[in-house]
Structure 1
Amino acid sequence: MEAKSPSKESLSSSPLPAIKASMSKFRAEFELMLAFIFFSILGNYSRMGLIQLTNYSGAYVRGPTVLWANIGACFVMGLMQEMKIFKLFSPLLFTALTTAYCGSVSSFSSLMIELFTNAANVSSARVPSGLPNRAYGIMQFLAVLLTQLLTSISSHVFGLLVAREFAPYFLDEDEEKTPPAVNRIRNITDAITKIVLVLSVPVLIVQIVLAGVYDNFSRSWTLSAIFAFPGAVLRYFLSKQLNHRIKHFPMGTFAANVLGTLVLAVITLVTKGKRSDDSAIIHSKTAETVVIALGNGFCGGLTTVSTFINECQILPFRRTMIYYFVSIFVSFSLVVVILGSYTWTKGLQA
């Protein structure tokens, strides 16, 4: 009796193609998470480093402020968006650089806290002479908001223009041929991707070990770097699941920014709030370091200005204005309700 060969119908109904597709998808997501570990940590260090670097006596822009970090992140975001058409980066590296790195360098939640502290004139160190009266808080609010938004938008546009200047090097009159410059850069970016995938887990382990071993100023940096990864990943999945739900309104980015601002407002209250006897709410130095690191790392990774600004290049102008207004209004209102109510009743430490 002859054995029958499998028919085409049985082959097409085989689960093997579906399994291979699932494995391929899982591998892609796994590699992306590895890249997210590396670039979220790098982005967090970049943001905190820029804040420290630009906070000095006599600075034209008084610190500490997230302004310079937002400007730098928006520039890189604009550069990457324009260079995307030349296919110099793999989809994995492009997503890691824009979503993980730029998103972690910039911080929407820190911007909202800056808006409140300046408008409410909370920290006397930032305005030594104080405001003439409380109504000038409106001017402070507008000064911070417009400066942050307009400089970030300008930086993003500048990144686009810089990338366009390099366009002739990446284009060839013969469309069937790839310019040599493109091949060279692709080889470099492919090598960078492989290095990142190999180093991501060891880098994370090093941060955990350093945070556990060294009980000094470096702990706030290493703990922040550890918390940056879950924040960036949460923002990525929120955007992936929600951004397409409402046309012309990126719900995922909105949810990430609002949630991160809410958490940072609570953290700011806990770390800077005063009790009735003017003592700090948190007495343990270790607990304070962990909570501050949670704000710098998790909230810094969860919220983003670079993506927030990049979306204005995609949305129609009117929709952009609605999206910006709703995002800022909701986030700032939460800060006022949480932080403002406590500030005006019990006060915050300078």
Structure 2
Amino acid sequence: MSLPESNPGVELPRDPEKAIELPLTETAAPEPVQRVPTQRQAWSLAQAVPGESATAALQSNTTAPSPTAAALSKHATHLYTISYLIFFAIFGTLARLGLQALTFYTGAPVVSGVLWANVAGSLVMGFLTEDKNLLREEWGDAPMSLTDKNENERKEDALAKLQKHKAVKKTIPLYIGLTTGFCGCCTSFSSFIRDVFLALANALPDPSTTSIPSRNGGYSFMALIAVILLTVSLSLSALIFGAHLALALGRLTPTVPFKLMRRIVDPAMIILGWGCWLGAVFMSIWPPDRNSGSETWRGRAIFAIVFAPLGCLLRFYVSLLLNARVPAFPMGTFAVNMIGTVVEGMCYDLQHVRGLGTGVLTGCQVLQGVMDGFCGSTTTISTWVAELNGLAKRRHAYLYGATTVGAGLGFMVVIMGSLLWTRGFDEPVCG
């Protein structure tokens, strides 16, 4: 499935009352039936007609750009989107690792290190999905006239503006980068499910002690419930609070200038995104601390940010391909969460087997990088809770949530449990 064109126009719903129930995530958009010029469409027209300003193009009667301008705009937007995803995948992964490091300390009241990263990413997701000011010049236009209109017409105008906001917003490269890139990579479903299994198996690391005290099966079940409820409830609360925060700060939220984005930020992001990724690859080959003999940089962050963009791009394209297939069950998000969870479990096993993760420093660091980078970025809590909150019927949300957690934990029991409950975990050399 190809990336949406960069000049989709105003997308009005076929059935407005039904369309407004669609969950507002970063990849699901209402079906278009009518096109009206937008800022980005006018920009394409201006590029196709030298000497004409974007404002003049927007005010003209032309409602679609030339085929050449449309093709150029589509490919340029595709490149901008990928560049934003790469940059914010790296940034989101580093934010998650940093929050995990701050969370995991002696005497910490919460032993699931990824909890606060999931909460932070969900909060930002809630703010971005509800905000209508930050990217207003991308999707907005002149205020609709409310004079000489009855109440029903005013409601229809307001609904049309809301649908325009929802439809066009998801085609903006910066918005996709912030939600799919930063929020998706700052949160991690695979790490959450890994901690759920470790809590069940009484193997969850405790920063307050060097040894893990034994407990019976009943207490292990309570630990499992605690990790699930804490993560899901706090992440959902953070998502809703982020949305409320966007509404409360509506008048204070600045608007990013459209021309600044098109002329400076978008082209610069190509260099910045790909340059940061290439720099991470070079640092993984020649780490700054190579002469010291420890080479801890690669294990702590560098390998993770090398693999992070791959996971983010996989999640983005799978979500575009599958999420719209079943409106009541987002198959794309479910699929990537399961893929990342399976890979996380296998890498964790390899890291805790003598002779692999316990004997070779670089091999152990690469496995850690795959778990923190690829798996952490392939899976997402922020989009998952946004979908749970946005599904029109509550029973669909409960079914989707329970199936995702149950399937993920089932994979972990088979993959990690088969090693832990037979020969046990060995201590990795990079642990």
Q: Into which bin does the TM-score normalised by the smaller protein fall?
A: 0.7 to 0.9
CA distance in 2, matches of 1:137, 1:319: 29
Match of 1:107 among 174, 184, 188: 188
**CA contact under 8 A between 1:270 and 1:282: conserved in structure 2?**
no
**CA contact under 8 A between 1:88 and 1:189: conserved in structure 2?**
no
**Deviation by residue 1:87-143 (Cα, 9 ceiling, x = unmatched):** 347511011000011000000000000000011102464675635412221101100
1:159 counterpart residue number: 242
Match of 1:257 among 324, 337, 342: 337
Alignment of 1:305 with 2:305, yes or no, is: no
- Between structures 1 and 2, the one with greater helix share: 1
CA distance in 1, matches of 2:275, 2:426: 38
Trace 1:184-333 onto structure 2 (pairs within 5 A): 192-214=265-287, 215=290, 216-220=295-299, 221-274=301-354, 283-315=359-391, 316-333=393-410
Q: Secondary structure at the match of 1:142?
A: helix
Once the two structures are TM-superposed, the CA of residue 31 in structure 1 deviates from its matched residue by: 1.2
Once the two structures are TM-superposed, the CA of residue 76 in structure 1 deviates from its matched residue by: 0.4
Once the two structures are TM-superposed, the CA of residue 198 in structure 1 deviates from its matched residue by: 3.1
Q: Secondary structure at the match of 1:167?
A: coil
1:145 partner amino acid: I
CA distance in 2, matches of 1:157, 1:110: 22
CA distance in 2, matches of 1:28, 1:187: 15
1:176 counterpart residue number: none
Unaligned runs of 5+ in 1: 1-15, 171-180
**Deviation by residue 1:133-158 (Cα, 9 ceiling, x = unmatched):** 12221101100000000010111111
CA distance in 2, matches of 1:189, 1:202: 19
Alignment of 1:121 with 2:202, yes or no, is: yes
Once the two structures are TM-superposed, the CA of residue 333 in structure 1 deviates from its matched residue by: 0.2
**CA contact under 8 A between 1:70 and 1:106: conserved in structure 2?**
yes
Alignment of 1:146 with 2:229, yes or no, is: yes
1:51 counterpart residue number: 100
Alignment of 1:80 with 2:128, yes or no, is: yes
1:242 and 1:157, CA in 2 relative to 1: closer, same or farther beyond 3 A? same
Count of residues in Structure 1 that have an aligned counterpart in Structure 2: 319
Once the two structures are TM-superposed, the CA of residue 289 in structure 1 deviates from its matched residue by: 0.9
**CA contact under 8 A between 1:204 and 1:226: conserved in structure 2?**
yes
Give the alignment's Cα RMSD to 1 decimal. 2.3
Alignment of 1:346 with 2:419, yes or no, is: no
1:134 counterpart residue number: 217
**CA contact under 8 A between 2:202 and 2:212: conserved in structure 1?**
no
CA distance in 1, matches of 2:265, 2:76: 18
Once the two structures are TM-superposed, the CA of residue 196 in structure 1 deviates from its matched residue by: 2.8
1:9 counterpart residue number: none
Calculate the TM-score normalised by the size of structure 1: 0.84
1:67 counterpart residue number: 115
Greater Cα offset, 288-297 or 259-268? 288-297
Calculate the TM-score normalised by the size of structure 2: 0.69
CA distance in 2, matches of 1:94, 1:124: 36
Unaligned runs of 5+ in 2: 1-64, 139-171
2:35 counterpart residue number: none
